[in-house]
């Protein structure tokens, strides 16, 4: 049984949750419900379908885990979505705040051959416009290690790794300040009690709030350029 677009979406989100957990392939159905913005009964029904089709295993009190078949389907879906986003931004010049929903729609219909051509035209990117890693055609997913900006000690030089939001207004605002994946900056200060964060980027000093700082995931400049 081939996975429907709805099944692929669940598999992709399940993979993404597990990817950012440390050495734990199991995820809870409640975590999946949260990211999918659906009810617990809806997740239970989909988990049953995916288990019956061989895409995942479900262990009571441990949660769900993708099978090799489920992981393969998830990676294909993630690859399509993120490469479509890159193509829309880098080649077609859409704003990075515009492309998430469009990539969901287009990703359901483009063929692997079209995705491969998009990858070539976008010059083989390692990350999507929001900084998420892009799997290779054979299913190799680069490993990302990053941390919230609002938890880092002042004085260090960092690169924006990922922007953990799809909110168009936040993305547009961050883009106007130059705070996009790959941008390097110095963290000057972080006020106590969830106060403002001051950083220097491109010779300018910026101040952002604690909450917005949590949206930005950062890494060392050397770690940004993912290696396969």
DSSP summary character for residue 139: S
**Per-residue pLDDT, 90:** 96
Question: Residue 126 pLDDT > 90, yes or no?
Answer: yes
Model-level pTM greater than 0.85?
yes
DSSP H/E element including 65: strand 63-66
Question: Residue 2 pLDDT > 90, yes or no?
Answer: no
**Per-residue pLDDT, 3:** 86
Q: How far apart are CA 226 and CA 132, in angstroms?
A: 11
Convert the pLDDT of each residue in 45-67 to its tens digit. 999 999 999 999 999 889 999 99
Q: How far apart are CA 170 and CA 88, in angstroms?
A: 19
**Per-residue pLDDT, 22:** 79
DSSP codes joined into one string, 20-32: TSSS---B-HHHH
**Per-residue pLDDT, 61:** 87
- 77 by DSSP, 3-state: which? helix
**What's the pLDDT band for 228 if we cut at 50, 70, 90?**
low
1-143 maps to which CATH number? 1.10.10.10
**What's the pLDDT band for 1 if we cut at 50, 70, 90?**
low
Q: Which residues pair with 178 in a beta bridge?
A: none
Q: Where are the domains of the chain?
A: 1-143, 147-224
Question: Residue 161 pLDDT > 70, yes or no?
Answer: yes
Q: How far apart are CA 207 and CA 189, in angstroms?
A: 9
For residues 129-142, average pLDDT: 96
- Measured at the CA of 152, the angle between CA 32 and CA 30, to 5 degrees, comes to 10
Convert the pLDDT of each residue in 168-225 to its tens digit. 999 999 999 999 999 999 999 999 999 999 999 999 999 999 999 999 999 999 999 9
For residue 161, what are the CA distances in angstroms to 76, 80, 145, 184, 219?
A: 22, 20, 9, 10, 6
Q: Is 206 exposed, middle or buried (0-12, 13-18, 19+ CB in 10 A)?
A: middle
Spatial CB neighbours of 113, under 8 Å, sequence gap ≥ 6: none
Convert the pLDDT of each residue in 17-50 to its tens digit. 999 997 889 999 999 999 999 999 999 999 999 9
Mention the CATH class of domain 147-224.
mainly beta
Convert the pLDDT of each residue in 79-119 to its tens digit. 999 999 999 999 999 999 999 999 999 988 899 999 999 99
For residues 127-132, average pLDDT: 98
For residue 63, what are the CA distances in angstroms to 28, 43, 201?
A: 5, 12, 43
Spatial CB neighbours of 30, under 8 Å, sequence gap ≥ 6: 40, 43
Spatial CB neighbours of 139, under 8 Å, sequence gap ≥ 6: 71, 72, 75, 76
Average pLDDT, the chain: 95
């Amino acid at each position: 049984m081939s996975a429907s677009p709805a099944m692929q979406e669940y598999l992709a989100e399940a993979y993404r949750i597990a990817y950012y957990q440390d050495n734990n392939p199991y995820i809870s159905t409640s975590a999946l419900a949260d990211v999918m913005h659906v009810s617990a009964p809806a997740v239970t029904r989909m988990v049953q379908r995916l288990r019956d089709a061989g895409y995942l295993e479900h262990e009571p009190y441990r949660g769900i885990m993708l099978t090799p078949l489920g992981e393969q389907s998830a990676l294909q879906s993630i690859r399509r979505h993120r490469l479509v986003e890159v193509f829309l931004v880098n080649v077609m010049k859409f704003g990075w705040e515009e492309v998430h929903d469009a990539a969901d729609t287009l990703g359901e219909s483009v063929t692997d051959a079209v995705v491969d051509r998009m990858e070539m035209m976008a010059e083989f990117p390692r990350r999507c416009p929001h900084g998420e890693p892009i799997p290779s055609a054979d299913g190799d997913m680069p490993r990302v290690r990053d941390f919230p900006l609002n938890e880092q000690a002042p004085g260090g030089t960092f690169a924006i790794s990922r922007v953990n939001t799809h909110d168009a207004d936040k993305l547009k605002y961050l883009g106007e300040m130059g705070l996009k994946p790959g941008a390097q900056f110095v963290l000057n200060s972080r006020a106590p009690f969830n106060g403002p964060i001051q950083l220097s980027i491109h010779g300018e000093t910026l101040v952002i709030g604690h909450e917005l700082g949590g949206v930005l995931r950062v890494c060392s400049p050397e770690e940004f350029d993912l290696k396969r």
